Amino acid sequence: MRIVSWNVNGLRACTRKGFGKFLKTCKADVLCLQEVRAFPEQLDDNIRSPRGWHTHFFPAERPGYSGVAIYSRAQPTHVATSLGDSSFDIEGRFLMVRFGRLSVASVYFPKGSGKDRDNSRVPYKLDFYAAVKEKIELARKLGPVYVTGDYNTAHESIDLARPKTNRKSSGFLPEERDVLTKWMEDGWVDVFRDRHPNEPDHYSWWRQWGNAREDNVGWRIDYVLASPSGAKRVSDAFIWPKVTGSDHCPVGVDLSA
């Protein structure tokens, strides 16, 4: 089983840049998307409901903003979208599906920077993390869980090209990083870093100016975190930086039977 996650930075735009071909060739059994930025009815039929896929979308109430989706080869036995707080749910950031005992979540964690890059949304971001944690801990009691998505936080210095100049920037603030540390202390596994513990220069997002992607000046902020039972099933964890179409690239895991 292959689970792939990708912040597409607008699914309609990504479709014009080759998303349809990616969907056919990525060999995913479950594909999680973030920052869809479209209502389902705004998408072409072959993207909204492509042959051979079951699709679920959870858009934001605000047009052209946020939104998550999950494409799966098998029909989920359960679908959840609410975090129990309307201030989170209206932004369309959380979608979790279950296949029997196994759960997969597509999550678009908020930025903390705010409109004026003043870190004003950090409290909202931390509260959102807490709400997601509550949901995934419940799912973990049922079976393996894989929490995929754009976490909007680089956990350690190895996870971004320029840690020294970003220590006061949302995405690398101590309080944001501490959340991920606590999750891992509670048993959640960053499966890519677990398999590549000391390898630098693996990033999943690059600014769209200044040749950042060409020069690999990026951040690893897209993750698959697995519950302990889920981590045991991971046979490979990967990042696909050569896949273009967004300012993020896909990340994912392969699972053994």
Residue from 150, 159, 190, 222 carrying the catalytic annotation: 150
Give the DSSP H or E segment for 57: strand 54-58
Assess whether 118 carries a catalytic annotation. Answer: no
Token pair recorded at residue 29 = 């059994």
Output DSSP code: residue 159. G
Token pair recorded at residue 64 = 């052209």
Provide the β-strand partners of residue 99: 102
Q: Across the chain, how many H-helices and E-strands are there?
A: 8, 14
Instruction: Note whether 224 and 1 are within 8 A (CB).
Output: no
Torsion angle in degrees (nearest 10) through CA of 138, 109, 213, 202: -30
Output DSSP code: residue 77. S
Write out the catalytic residue numbers: 150
